[in-house]
Amino acid sequence: MEKYVSRESTLVVLGAVATHFIFNRFEPVYRPSVWVFLFFAPPVALAWGLHLPWTSVPLLVLKHLATLVFSVVAYRLSPFHPLAHIPGPLSLKVSNLVIAYHSVRGKRHDLMEKLHRRYGKIVRIGSDNVSWADAEAAKVCMGNKGLPRSVGYATAETSETPGSIMTAYAAFYPEPTKVHAERRARWAHAFTSKAIRECDTFLLPRVERLLKKVGEQQGSLDLGKWFGYFTFDFMGDLFFDGGFDMLNDQDEDGLWKIIEDFAPAIASLYYLPWLTPILLSMPGADDAPIQKFFRFAIKCVDGRLKKGNTVKDAFYYIAGEHVEDENKPKPSRAVIDSDVQTGIIGGSDTTASAMANTVFCLLMNPDKLKKLRQEIDATFYREGVDQNDSARLAELPYLNACINETLRIFPPVQTRISRGVPRGYGGIHVAGVYLPDNTSMDFPPRVIHRDPDYFSPNPDSWWPERWLADTSGTTEQPFIMNVDGFMPFSVGPANCVGRNLAMREMRLVISQLVYRYDVRAAEKDPQEFQRKWLAGLQDHQILLKGPLDVLLTPRSPNTN
Ligand code: HEM
């Protein structure tokens, strides 16, 4: 009997180690059927081979799974793991479930800051994931001859969305950069200087509507929410020739709520891409918030296609309506749907966050708000000056310093611009670090932006003057301003294609808000105002925010 027990135990261990090897080598992450087979086949085969009673199978399965878990954990913590040389806390090395949990909680930005302070520029944050707060590494990995996005982008793949511009650049695609370049070319058409100028036909009325609506509100108002309505409506204009109108109905359809609801799940599933197909195959998956959002966007595309191209909006280019040659291939309907879905989210929440954080920083620094207002008044309070003049706004030094400084301290994409080393690539050696195939790396703009190696002194403080190299009032610490360490829009061929449009929106809205209104925080105690705002920030890749309650009083220029 004893002999059988030891033979049985040995075979359980061998079965579990072999299963671990198969997972590790072939990564059948998207095939739940293979999982089921690997979890159950070895114990069943063992019972059959040793002529054990079938009633022993459940216990054998348990032993198999327990040994498998032990083998996985031991390997991930062992010096034999290919990322063993990257420092990091044990809890995060053991399983991606831990970083996924932090992503659901929304305090990833605090965690990443803490981890990088403790472990240095590169930290292991998962079984095959690192966070890399190094501008040099970011530039190489995201640059022209860099790497594709990591496999985590498979999270965004569903049967309805077979690949947006984001996922087209991901490591699981064959020839990711080629597929992406083709998509990107259409997007790039949509955001040339000329195309952005043409957007003014619908952008300027939207800005006007926003400023009018916020002025009409009685008492305090959540300005962050109104910025969200504005950017969302503007995305409706950009892609569907209008129709969202949240500024009027204050999100009657609850679309912001849907985005807020799916943000934590999407942020965490990025680290568990194998879980997405399982969840999507479960009953009720159709009612998941993300699916509701996809259906909403698909309906909007239906409407826009029916209406035809009355304006040269972003949709016009992304859907290939600008291509006159009938023989040239046009994007499929599925590609249009998924690109538009990406655009709506990528272009609304980010810009709204940047504007809300700019106002927060200005309210926390009344002297700087005053300085900005002086610059704006001096520029605009003259007859015949076009307050919307794009070139003039782009040249206002203090306005741009305030926006850039906000994007530095509070980048809307806080902690994860992702890249991955594809399977079969042969690993990479960058900035003195070796990373093997299948490593996913997160470049965390927030941490890089606050690194004194790139911005000093006071890298954690909002100090627009650093952008003007105005060092007055600083201590004897060296002044460092290394813009290689500034990447709110990322860098390289997959960086933010909407960057110039976003800057145009932000310059218009912030300058007009400050010009027309006296803005004050509803909370009188600045410490409490700051505490509440920081506590409300939730980094789910999409940056969720608490209320930004302010009081607005119309002003005539030069009143203070
Ligand atoms: C302050 C505002 C914005 C910020 C901070 C921002 C930031 C980013 C970042 C960090 C990326 C990821 C790039 C990478 O993986 O390397 C990105 C990609 C992208 N953004 Fe933005 N974004 C903003 C506004 C916009 C706007 C207004 C649009 C237009 C609708 C837009 C459309 C896109 C698209 C389509 C991509 C994917 C680009 C590609 O894969 O080639 N973004 N953005």
Q: What is the pLDDT of residues 231-270, one digit of tens each?
A: 999 999 999 988 788 999 888 888 888 888 889 988 998 8
Strand order of the sheet with strand 517-521?
221-222, 549-554, 517-521
Asked if residue 300 belongs to a known ligand binding site, the reply is no
Ligand 1, atom 26, lies closest to the CA of: 347
pLDDT at 160: 44
Distance 324 CA to ligand 1 centre (A): 28
Q: For ligand 1, is residue 495 a contact (CB within 6 Å)?
A: yes
Instruction: List, for residues 187-197, the tens digit of each pLDDT value.
Output: 999 999 999 99
Residue nearest to atom 25 of ligand 1 (CA): 347
Q: How far is the CA of 175 from the centre of ligand 1 (A)?
A: 22
Which of 209-218, 241-250, 274-283 is the least confident region? 274-283
* Residue 158 or residue 419, greater confidence: 419
Q: Label each residue of 500-535 as H, E or C.
A: HHHHHHHHHHHHHHHHHEEEEECCCCHHHHHHHHHH
- H/E element holding 550? strand 549-554
Residue 413 alpha carbon to ligand 1 centre in Å: 9
Tell how far the Cα of 468 is from the centroid of ligand 1, in angstroms.
26
- Among 350, 490, 503, which is best to mutate for testing ligand 1, by the most ligand atoms less than 8 A from CB? 350
CA 169–ligand 1 middle distance (angstroms) = 13
**H helices of 470-498, where?**
none
**Band of pLDDT at residue 399, cut at 50, 70 and 90:** very high
pLDDT of 3 higher than 60: no
Q: What is the pTM of this model?
A: 0.92
| Nearest residue (CA) to ligand 1, atom 10 | 489
In this predicted structure, the answer to whether residue 546 has a pLDDT above a threshold of 50 is yes
Lowest mean pLDDT among 237-251, 340-354, 540-554: 237-251
| Long-range contacts at 35-43 (CB < 8 A, ≥ 24 apart) | 39/64, 39/65, 39/68, 42/12, 42/15, 42/16, 42/18, 43/12, 43/15
Cβ–ligand 1 contact at 500 (below 6 Å) = no
CB of 496 closer than 6 angstroms to any ligand 1 atom: yes
Joined together, the tokens standing for residue 52 give 């054990």
The least confident of 149-153, 362-366, 495-499 is 149-153
Q: What percent of the chain has pLDDT over 90?
A: 58
- What would the two tokens of residue 510 be? 């912030």
Verify whether ligand 1 is closer than 6 Å to residue 487 (CB atom).
Answer: no
- Please, which pLDDT band fits residue 286 given cuts at 50, 70 and 90? confident
User: Is the CB of residue 354 below 6 angstroms from any atom belonging to ligand 1?
Assistant: yes
Evaluate: CB of 187 within 6 angstroms of ligand 1.
yes
Atom of ligand 1 nearest to the CA of 164: 40
Q: What is the pLDDT of residue 213?
A: 96
**Confidence (pLDDT) at 9:** 81
CA-closest candidate to residue 413, choices 531, 541, 262, 264: 541
Per-residue pLDDT at 170 exceeds 80: no
Q: How far apart are CA 515 and CA 369, in angstroms?
A: 11
Higher local confidence (pLDDT), 72 or 130? 130
Pairing of β 129-132 and β 440-443: parallel
Question: Which residue stretches of 160-222 are H helix?
Answer: 176-190, 193-216
168 lines ligand 1 (CB under 6 A): no
Distance from the CA of 269 to the center of ligand 1, in angstroms?
20
Q: How confident is the model at residue 159 (pLDDT cuts 50, 70, 90)?
A: very low
384-394, pLDDT tens digit by residue? Answer: 788 888 989 99
Of all atoms in ligand 1, which is nearest to the CA of residue 492?
16
Whose Cα sits closest to atom 3 in ligand 1? Answer: 350
Q: So what's the pLDDT on residue 181?
A: 87
Residue nearest to atom 6 of ligand 1 (CA): 489
- 420-451 pLDDT tens trace: 998 888 999 999 999 999 899 999 999 999 99
Atom of ligand 1 nearest to the CA of 505: 27
Which residue has the least CA distance to atom 2 on ligand 1?
351
Instruction: Tell me if 239 CB under 6 Å of ligand 1.
Output: no
Per-residue burial over 441-464, b = 16 or more CB atoms within 10 Å of its CB, e = otherwise: bbbbbbbbbbbeebbbbebeebbb
Question: Is the minimum distance from the CB of 140 to ligand 1 under 6 angstroms?
Answer: no
- Within 8 A by CB and 6+ apart from 342, the residues are 156, 164, 165, 166
How many Å lie between the centroid of ligand 1 and the Cα of residue 443? 15
Interval between CA 297 and ligand 1 midpoint (Å): 18
The residue-averaged pLDDT of 274-287 equals 82
342 lines ligand 1 (CB under 6 A): yes
Q: Is 501 in the pocket of ligand 1 (CB under 6 A)?
A: yes
Task: Please work out whether the CB of residue 146 comes within 6 Å of at least one atom of ligand 1.
Answer: no
Per mean pLDDT, which range of 100-114, 142-156, 260-274 is the poorest? Answer: 142-156
Is the CB–ligand 1 distance for residue 221 below 6 Å?
no
What is the distance in A from the centroid of ligand 1 to the CA of 147?
A: 17
With a 6 Å cutoff on the Cβ, whether 184 touches ligand 1 is yes
User: 509 CB less than 6 Å from ligand 1?
Assistant: no
The Cα–Cα gap between 390 and 410 comes to 24
The band of 59, judged by pLDDT with boundaries at 50, 70 and 90, is confident
Q: Using a 6 Å cutoff on CB, does residue 550 contact ligand 1? A: no
Q: What is the mean pLDDT of the chain?
A: 89
Closest CA to 168 of 494, 547, 455, 498: 494
User: Is the Cβ atom of 347 under 6 angstroms away from ligand 1?
Assistant: yes
Mean pLDDT of 22-49: 76
Residue of the nearest CA to atom 16 in ligand 1?
Answer: 495
